Amino acid sequence: MSITTIPHFFNGAEHLGTGTDTEGVFNPATGAQTGEVRLASPSDLDQAVAIAKEAAKSWGDVSLAKRTTILFKFRELVAAHVDELAALITAEHGKVLSDAKGEIGRGLEVIEFACGIPQLLKGEYSDQASTGIDVFSYRQPVGVVAGITPFNFPVMVPLWMAPMAIATGNTFILKPSGRVPSAAMLLAKLFKQAGLPDGVFQVLHGNREVVQGLLTHPDIDAISFVGSTPVAKLVHDTGTVHGKRVQALGGAKNHAIILPDADLDNAADHLAAAAFGSAGQRCMAISVAIAVGDAADALVAKVKDRAEAVRVADGTDPDAEMGPVITKAAQQKMRSIVTAAAESGADLVVDGREFTVEGQEEGYWFGPTVIDKVDFDMDAYQEEIFGPVLSVVRAETVEEAIELINSNPYGNGTAIFTSSGANARKFHRGVHVGMIGINVPVPVPVAYHSFGGWKDSLFGDKHIYGPEGVSFYTRAKVITERWPEPKQRTGASYNFPTN
């Protein structure tokens, strides 16, 4: 198989850059290397930032009508290239094609929201705030924005950032994960085809040194990040120290409470989908089920049936429901955590450690796994496994289950399955989590709300996309003005004016 070299995208064109180091790109279903991505040198980074800074001088003054015309065209192009984008995602991430297309669909929703930017940037006006004085406010772009995105959503997460930043008048540099670089390059070409001026959207590939360079570069004004909690905290702290506006979304350990009054078949269906969809490699996956009271044994039996029925195969297989995990290292980490739980007394209800696909034994396979009676001190409970592993713990009451969630350092997403409105209300009011589902296992907000967690799942005070995305990528100006008639002119007061 030939190895494709994936370049950067600078100033409207592919660019190999001056960096000579590369990083391998692999198909997780086969373990075979399919490409190599060029890693940016410090001079490549400086060049990309300089181009973005120059482009920002004019892009911020482009009319809202012209910006939205380009975004509408970009939306059409992304929709027309769903199959091609999905194929790139599946080839490098491993998720099944239907899931890849679903990811793109959620990204399209944010583009559509960004197309309404004229409504969102209208500002406010107060006539006659004081005698002869009017006050008004509006928002302007921050300048040059860098987006650092994870491997698990190669299209959706960049589309959560870039359209919002660009619609509000900023230029944007995308630093995608080196494991899934190709979809980012196609997005860059589609932006170019839509008529976006050169330098407004660029793609820069790189390693930790490039990330550090973006966080400390004096001409980067804002950073959007999605990734693990330790890196999110580092990104926030480093970027903030260097004077940047930062939103850094971190990891998760999402719990779902299942009450005895829930429809257990419905709950088991959705738990399986939430735990094993995308091989569990999403920050909104349900990785812990809290079975309350006498729901536990029946729920575990039903989830076991669903887990054993999941069709795991190459993501290109039309019947596949789950593909491989992203790397051999991730596979080995999952095996270690599950083995340790079993050796410590947990009940291994469904064991996916040795799962493989015939003919693709070198792929990074890990089957759906269910572990019951997990203790709170086990790594299976403490760590974000980021794989198709569902841990089941037990609680006696809904209050105990809520307290269990609140004692966790993460606060990204959570859910409850119940037929009790009173318990659902008690849950959503009492739980310390940013995104909550009631009989909805993966409560990712629609594009006109905002996505983000609490506690160690978010560093910075602004969530991503939606109204908070508009706020993050802009800063407010407030103007107080007076146009006195000559006959009204008087001497200035030395007191603070009030009316």
pLDDT value of residue 1: 63
pLDDT value of residue 487: 73
CA-CA distance, 9 to 154, in Å (whole number)?
16
CA-CA distance, 266 to 276, in Å (whole number)?
16
Average pLDDT over residues 30-59: 97
pLDDT value of residue 337: 98
Helical spans, DSSP H, in 135-181? 156-167
pLDDT value of residue 247: 97
Average per-residue pLDDT for the chain: 96
Average pLDDT over residues 141-162: 98
pLDDT value of residue 43: 97
pLDDT value of residue 490: 67
H or E element at residue 137: strand 133-141
Interacting residues of 135 by C-beta distance below 8 A, sequence separation 6+: 125, 126, 129, 478, 479, 480, 481
H or E element at residue 268: helix 264-276
Average pLDDT over residues 117-127: 94
CA-CA distance, 23 to 39, in Å (whole number)?
7
Distance of CA 130 to the CA centre of its chain: 45
Biggest distance spanned by C-alpha atoms of the chain: 91
CA-CA distance, 38 to 14, in Å (whole number)?
11
Q: Are strands 245-249 and 458-459 parallel, antiparallel or unpaired?
A: antiparallel
Average pLDDT over residues 220-240: 97
Residue 146 pLDDT greater than 80, yes or no: yes
Phi, psi of 98 (to 5 degrees): -65, -35
CA dihedral angle for residue 369, residue 370, residue 373, residue 376, rounded to 10 degrees: 60
Which single residue is written with the structure tokens 């040795």?
Answer: 354
Average pLDDT over residues 437-456: 95
Q: Are strands 458-459 and 410-411 parallel, antiparallel or unpaired?
A: unpaired
Catalytic site residue 115? no
- Name the band, by pLDDT with cuts 50, 70 and 90, for residue 484: confident
Residue 497 pLDDT greater than 70, yes or no: no
And the tokens for 438?
């009631």
Query: Tens digits of per-residue pLDDT, 163-186?
Result: 999 999 999 999 999 999 999 999
Report which DSSP code applies to 280: G
Q: Do residues 38 and 19 lie in contact, with contact meaning Cβ atoms separated by under 8 Å?
A: yes
And the tokens for 171?
């230029």
Query: Tens digits of per-residue pLDDT, 277-296?
Result: 999 999 999 999 999 999 99
CA-CA distance, 363 to 317, in Å (whole number)?
15
Residue 60 pLDDT greater than 80, yes or no: yes
Average pLDDT over residues 73-102: 98
Q: What share of the chain is helix, strand, coil (3-state, %, to 5)?
A: 40, 25, 35
Distance of CA 157 to the CA centre of its chain: 5
And the tokens for 451?
């996505």
pTM, whole model, 2 decimals? 0.95
Average pLDDT over residues 96-106: 98
pLDDT value of residue 485: 83
- Name the band, by pLDDT with cuts 50, 70 and 90, for residue 452: very high
Classified as helix, coil or strand, 347 is strand
Query: Tens digits of per-residue pLDDT, 359-409?
Result: 999 999 999 999 999 999 999 999 999 999 999 999 999 999 999 999 999
Q: Of the listed 165, 203, 283, 380, which one is catalytic?
A: 283
pLDDT value of residue 372: 98
Average pLDDT over residues 148-157: 98
Over the range 444-480, which residues count as b (16 or more CB within 10 Å of their CB) and which as e? Answer: beebeebbbbebbbbbbebbbbbebbbbbbbeeeeee
- Name the band, by pLDDT with cuts 50, 70 and 90, for residue 493: confident
pLDDT value of residue 486: 77
Q: Of 351, 264, 349, whose CA–CA distance to 304 is shortest?
A: 349
CA-CA distance, 177 to 83, in Å (whole number)?
21
And the tokens for 14?
């592919």
Interacting residues of 171 by C-beta distance below 8 A, sequence separation 6+: 52, 53, 55, 56, 59, 143, 144, 145, 165, 199, 200, 201, 202
- Name the band, by pLDDT with cuts 50, 70 and 90, for residue 492: confident
* DSSP per-residue letters across 46-102: HHHHHHHHHHHHHHTTS-HHHHHHHHHHHHHHHHHTHHHHHHHHHHHH---HHHHHH
